[in-house]
Chains A and B, each alone.
Chain A
Amino acid sequence: MMTTRTCCGRQFNAPQYSSWSLEANSHRNNMGAVQSGPTEHEFQDIADRTGFSLEQIRNLHKRFKWLNNHQETLRREDFEKVLNLSLNPIRAKIIQAFFDKRNFGMNEVGLVEEIGFEEFLTVMSYFKPPNKKLTEDETEALRTKKLRFLFNMHDTDNDGTITLEEYRHLVEKLLSTCETLEQDTAQDIADAAMLEVARTTVVHMEPHEVYEGVTFEQFQQILKGIELETKMNVRFLQVNTTTMHCGK
Chain B
Amino acid sequence: MPALLGGAGSPHHSPGLRWSLLVVVLILSVMASSAAASSPAASAAGTGQGNGTTLHTDSKTNGTSHHTKKAFPVLSVNYDYVRMPFEISLWILLASLMKLGFHLVPRLSAVVPESCLLIVVGLLVGGLMKLVGENPPVLDSKLFFLCLLPPIILDAGYFLPIRAFSENVGTILMFAVIGTLWNAAFTGMVLYGVCQAEGGELKEVGLLACLLFGSIVSAVDPVAVLAVFEEIHINELLHIIVFGESLLNDAVTVVLYHLFEEFSNAGMVTLADACLGVVCFLVVSLGGILVGAIYGVLGAFTSRFTSHTRVIEPLFVFLYSYMAYLSAEVFHLSGIMSLIACGVVMRPYVEANVSHKSYTTIKYFLKMWSSVSETLIFIFLGVSTVAGPHEWNWTFIIVTVFLCLLSRVLGVIGLTLIINRFRIVKLTCKDQFIVAYGGLRGAIAFSLVYLLSPEHFTKKNMFLTAIITVVFFTVFVQGMTIRPLVELLAVKRKKETKHTINEEIHIQFLDHLLGGIEDVCGHCGHHHWKDKLSRFNKAYVKKWLIAGDRSMEPQLISFYHKLELKQALMMLEGGGTYTNVSMQNIQPKRPVPERVVPRMSRGREEEVRKILRANLQNTRQRLRSYSRHTLFEDPLEGEEEDYSEAQMRKQRVEIHRRMSHYMTVPAKQNSPPARRVRFESDNQVFGSTPASTPSSRFQVSVVPSIQVTRAPMARMEQLSQESVSLVDESQQQDSERGGAYSSDGSLGAELSVPHGESDHLRLPRCFSDPGPNKMEEEEEDDEHFVS
Asked if B549 is at the interface of the complex by the 8 Å CB criterion, the answer is yes
Instruction: Say whether A240 contacts B517, CB under 8 Å.
Output: no
Instruction: Say whether B560 contacts A90, CB under 8 Å.
Output: no
Asked if B103 is at the interface of the complex by the 8 Å CB criterion, the answer is no
Instruction: Say whether B424 contacts A177, CB under 8 Å.
Output: no
CB distance from A237 to the nearest CB of B (A): 8
Contacts A195-B701, A204-B579, A235-B424: A189 and B556 contacting too (C-beta < 8 A)?
yes
Q: How far is the CA of A177 from the CA of B554 in the complex (A)?
A: 9
| In the complex, residue of chain B having the shortest beta-carbon distance to the beta carbon of A243 | B522
A204 — which chain B residues lie within 8 A by C-beta? 579-581
| In the complex, residue of chain B having the shortest beta-carbon distance to the beta carbon of A97 | B513
Asked if B66 is at the interface of the complex by the 8 Å CB criterion, the answer is no
Instruction: Say whether A226 contacts B585, CB under 8 Å.
Output: no
A153 — which chain B residues lie within 8 A by C-beta? 513
A140 — which chain B residues lie within 8 A by C-beta? none
Contacts A181-B557, A209-B677: A88 and B519 contacting too (C-beta < 8 A)?
yes
| In the complex, residue of chain B having the shortest beta-carbon distance to the beta carbon of A88 | B516
Instruction: Say whether A210 contacts B424, CB under 8 Å.
Output: no
Contacts A212-B676, A226-B503: A88 and B512 contacting too (C-beta < 8 A)?
yes
Asked if A178 is at the interface of the complex by the 8 Å CB criterion, the answer is yes
Asked if A105 is at the interface of the complex by the 8 Å CB criterion, the answer is no
B522 — which chain A residues lie within 8 A by C-beta? 63, 66, 82, 239-241, 243-244
Q: Which of B514, B538, B585, B702 contacts A210 (CB 8 A)?
A: B585
Instruction: Say whether A164 contacts B500, CB under 8 Å.
Output: no
Contacts A198-B586, A209-B675: A82 and B501 contacting too (C-beta < 8 A)?
no
| In the complex, residue of chain B having the shortest beta-carbon distance to the beta carbon of A225 | B503
CB distance from A116 to the nearest CB of B (A): 15
A94 — which chain B residues lie within 8 A by C-beta? 512-513, 516-517, 520
Which of B215-223, B322-330, B523-531 makes up part of the contact surface?
B523-531
CB distance from B513 to the nearest CB of A (A): 6
Asked if B278 is at the interface of the complex by the 8 Å CB criterion, the answer is no
B557 — which chain A residues lie within 8 A by C-beta? 175, 178, 181, 185, 189
Instruction: Say whether B699 contacts A188, CB under 8 Å.
Output: yes
Asked if B506 is at the interface of the complex by the 8 Å CB criterion, the answer is yes
Asked if B564 is at the interface of the complex by the 8 Å CB criterion, the answer is yes
Asked if B510 is at the interface of the complex by the 8 Å CB criterion, the answer is yes
Contacts A174-B512, A209-B677: A225 and B497 contacting too (C-beta < 8 A)?
yes
Q: How far is the CA of A203 from the CA of B520 in the complex (A)?
A: 42
Q: How far is the CA of A226 from the CA of B665 in the complex (A)?
A: 38
Contacts A129-B424, A163-B588, A211-B585: A192 and B678 contacting too (C-beta < 8 A)?
no
Chain A residues 152-195 with CB under 8 Å of chain B are 153, 163-165, 170-171, 174-175, 177-181, 184-185, 188-189, 191-195
B588 — which chain A residues lie within 8 A by C-beta? 163-165, 210
Instruction: Say whether A84 contacts B528, CB under 8 Å.
Output: yes
Instruction: Say whether B583 contacts A191, CB under 8 Å.
Output: yes
Contacts A180-B552, A195-B702: A174 and B508 contacting too (C-beta < 8 A)?
yes
Instruction: Say whether B506 contacts A226, CB under 8 Å.
Output: yes
Asked if B668 is at the interface of the complex by the 8 Å CB criterion, the answer is yes
Q: Which of A179, A194, A223, A234 contacts B514 (CB 8 A)?
A: A234
C-beta contact mask, A201-215 vs B, less than 8 Å → 1, else 0? Answer: 011111111111000
Asked if A89 is at the interface of the complex by the 8 Å CB criterion, the answer is yes
Instruction: Say whether A192 contacts B560, CB under 8 Å.
Output: yes
B517 — which chain A residues lie within 8 A by C-beta? 94, 124, 127, 234
Asked if A142 is at the interface of the complex by the 8 Å CB criterion, the answer is no
Contacts A90-B509, A193-B502, A234-B517: A84 and B556 contacting too (C-beta < 8 A)?
no
Instruction: Say whether A207 contacts B552, CB under 8 Å.
Output: no
Instruction: Say whether A188 contacts B702, CB under 8 Å.
Output: yes
A198 — which chain B residues lie within 8 A by C-beta? 581, 585-586
Instruction: Say whether B523 contacts A240, CB under 8 Å.
Output: yes
Q: How far is the CA of A233 from the CA of B584 in the complex (A)?
A: 38
Asked if A24 is at the interface of the complex by the 8 Å CB criterion, the answer is no
- Residue among A87, A124, A244 having the largest count of chain B Cβ atoms under 10 Å: A87
Instruction: Say whether B560 contacts A188, CB under 8 Å.
Output: yes
Chain B residues 468-518 with CB under 8 Å of chain A are 495, 497, 499-503, 505-510, 512-518
Q: How far is the CA of A212 from the CA of B672 in the complex (A)?
A: 13
Q: How far is the CA of A33 from the CA of B518 in the complex (A)?
A: 32
Q: How far is the CA of A160 from the CA of B699 in the complex (A)?
A: 30
Q: Which of B502, B524, B580, B587 contacts A205 (CB 8 A)?
A: B580
Asked if A41 is at the interface of the complex by the 8 Å CB criterion, the answer is no
Instruction: Say whether A207 contacts B677, CB under 8 Å.
Output: no
Asked if B748 is at the interface of the complex by the 8 Å CB criterion, the answer is yes
B4 — which chain A residues lie within 8 A by C-beta? none
Instruction: Say whether A225 contacts B702, CB under 8 Å.
Output: no
Instruction: Say whether A208 contacts B499, CB under 8 Å.
Output: no
Instruction: Say whether A178 contacts B552, CB under 8 Å.
Output: yes
Q: How far is the CA of A63 from the CA of B514 in the complex (A)?
A: 17
A165 — which chain B residues lie within 8 A by C-beta? 588
| In the complex, residue of chain B having the shortest beta-carbon distance to the beta carbon of A149 | B513
| In the complex, residue of chain B having the shortest beta-carbon distance to the beta carbon of A89 | B512
A93 — which chain B residues lie within 8 A by C-beta? 513
Chain A residues 127-148 with CB under 8 Å of chain B are 127, 129, 133
Q: Which of A129, A164, A199, A210 contacts B577 (CB 8 A)?
A: A199
Instruction: Say whether A84 contacts B502, CB under 8 Å.
Output: no
B675 — which chain A residues lie within 8 A by C-beta? 205, 209-212
Pick the 10 closest A-B CB pairs, nearest first.
Answer: A207-B749, A94-B516, A208-B710, A84-B519, A211-B586, A129-B424, A198-B581, A180-B552, A209-B675, A205-B581
23 contacts between A and B (CB under 8 A): A63-B520, A85-B519, A87-B531, A89-B512, A174-B556, A178-B553, A185-B560, A188-B702, A195-B582, A195-B586, A198-B581, A206-B677, A207-B747, A207-B748, A207-B750, A210-B585, A210-B678, A212-B674, A212-B676, A222-B502, A225-B500, A239-B523, A243-B524
Measured CB to CB, the residues of A under 8 A from B are 59-60, 63, 66-67, 79, 82, 84-85, 87-91, 93-94, 98, 124, 127, 129, 133, 150, 153, 163-165, 170-171, 174-175, 177-181, 184-185, 188-189, 191-200, 202-212, 222-223, 225-226, 228, 230-241, 243-244
Extra pairs beyond A88-B515, A197-B502, A231-B510 (10, CB < 8 Å): A82-B519, A88-B516, A88-B519, A90-B509, A91-B516, A174-B512, A207-B710, A208-B679, A211-B581, A223-B502
Measured CB to CB, the residues of B under 8 A from A are 424-426, 495, 497, 499-503, 505-510, 512-525, 527-528, 531, 535, 538, 549, 552-554, 556-557, 560, 563-564, 577, 579-589, 665, 668, 671, 674-679, 691, 699, 701-702, 708-710, 747-750
